[in-house]
Amino acid sequence: MDIATIKAMHAEHGKDLALVVNMSGGKDSVRMLAFLREHFSDITTYVVYADTGFEHVRPISAEEFARQRTADFGLELVTVRNPNKTYLEMVERRGKFPSSSTRQCTSDLKRDPIHKFIRTLAHSVIINCTGIRAAESASRSKQNPWKQDARISKAGRQVWNWMPIFHESLQQVLDWHQASGTALHPVYSYAGGYLKRLSCRVCIFATNADIKAIYQHDREAFDLVASLEQRIGFTMRAGESLFQIIGQDIAADSQAEEFEAPCAA
Ligand code: SF4
């Protein structure tokens, strides 16, 4: 999908068209918001943060950081969450962790609350934007960056899922932050922190190096997940507990941009 086509849609639908921006406070979603404001500042835009209940809290919460970056563009952040469970509660009740094949954390704690928000909007055409990039992982490179969402395109409402920065590289995203003077959340290793991603405090897709770094820098989150593993008798990573992972040599850990792609960046 290109800029001219979105502008043509806006010309056709006017105020019936709105953008919904999925904002995690991460580098890609902030970069995406900048792109959208640069090209579509005349389209009604809602910026939505989905709180899984296991988001970074120090030295600044991911939510507050997202709120500040959203305010940089003159917009307000709307926070949504699943009213029935947090990430840790979900794992405890199911007795197992999500996996790449059953990614219930993303669907129940992020996608569904955002869909619920979209259903409250009066606009008949909604473009639901996420900061997913093809370069993040092999599976993401195969995704379609523009696709109608049949699940919520109902009752006179058309919803399109769009990945506006799908073709940007990690370096382009980081260069944009530097050139524009836009801060990165302090947990990022690019900003002096210890993680390549701003995801849940211990994401199911964390690399061994991430888990070791979390053990050193966010022991509270590490212990919450490690103790959960013991209580439910199920490990986040197949066949090895968090404590077993931190005892391993991590020199062979992937140096690729991403090991796998969680739902935030
Ligand atoms: S960041 Fe990771 S653990 Fe959290 S919801 Fe997304 S995939 Fe699941």
pLDDT at res. 256: 40
The finding on whether 204 has its CB within 6 A of some atom of ligand 1 is yes
The protein residue with its alpha carbon nearest to ligand 1, atom 6, reads 263
Q: Is the pLDDT of residue 259 over 50?
A: no
Q: Is the pLDDT of residue 110 over 60?
A: yes
Pairing of strands 77-80, 125-129: unpaired
Residue 4: CB atoms within 10 A of its CB come to 9
Cβ atoms 162, 36 nearer than 8 A = no
Length of the chain: 265
Between CA 18 and CA 125, with CA 16 as vertex, the angle to 5 degrees is 60
The mean pLDDT value for 213-221 works out to: 97
Ligand 1 geometric centre to CA of 203 (Å): 5
Ligand 1 geometric centre to CA of 240 (Å): 19
The protein residue with its alpha carbon nearest to ligand 1, atom 3, reads 203
The finding on whether 114 has its CB within 6 A of some atom of ligand 1 is no
pLDDT digits over 158-172, tens only? 999 999 999 999 999
pLDDT digits over 174-188, tens only? 999 999 999 999 999
pLDDT at res. 226: 97
The mean pLDDT value for 15-28 works out to: 98
**Residue in 107, 110, 137 to alter for ligand 1 test, most ligand atoms within 8 A of Cβ:** 110
CA–CA separation, 251 and 189 (whole Å): 17
Beta bridge partners of 50: 80
Would you list the domain boundaries of the chain? 3-162
CA–CA separation, 159 and 152 (whole Å): 7
DSSP designation for 205: T
* Closest alpha carbon to 108 in 26, 150, 52, 63: 52
Cβ atoms 128, 118 nearer than 8 A = yes
Burial class (CB in 10 A: 0-12, 13-18, 19+), 29: buried
Cα 141 from chain centroid (whole Å):
16
Q: Which atom of ligand 1 is nearest to the CA of 204?
A: 3
**Residue in 49, 82, 111, 263 to alter for ligand 1 test, most ligand atoms within 8 A of Cβ:** 263
The mean pLDDT value for 41-53 works out to: 98
The finding on whether 203 has its CB within 6 A of some atom of ligand 1 is yes
Cβ atoms 105, 52 nearer than 8 A = yes
Structure-token match 């969450």, residue found: 81
Q: Is the pLDDT of residue 242 over 90?
A: yes
CA–CA separation, 105 and 111 (whole Å): 9
CA–CA separation, 237 and 211 (whole Å): 11
Ligand 1 geometric centre to CA of 7 (Å): 33
The fold adopted by the segment(s) 3-162 is Rossmann fold (3.40.50)
For the packed helices 219-232 and 208-217, what is the interaxial angle rounded to 10 degrees? 120
CA–CA separation, 236 and 225 (whole Å): 8
Give the chain's mean pLDDT.
93
The finding on whether 99 has its CB within 6 A of some atom of ligand 1 is no
The finding on whether 263 has its CB within 6 A of some atom of ligand 1 is yes
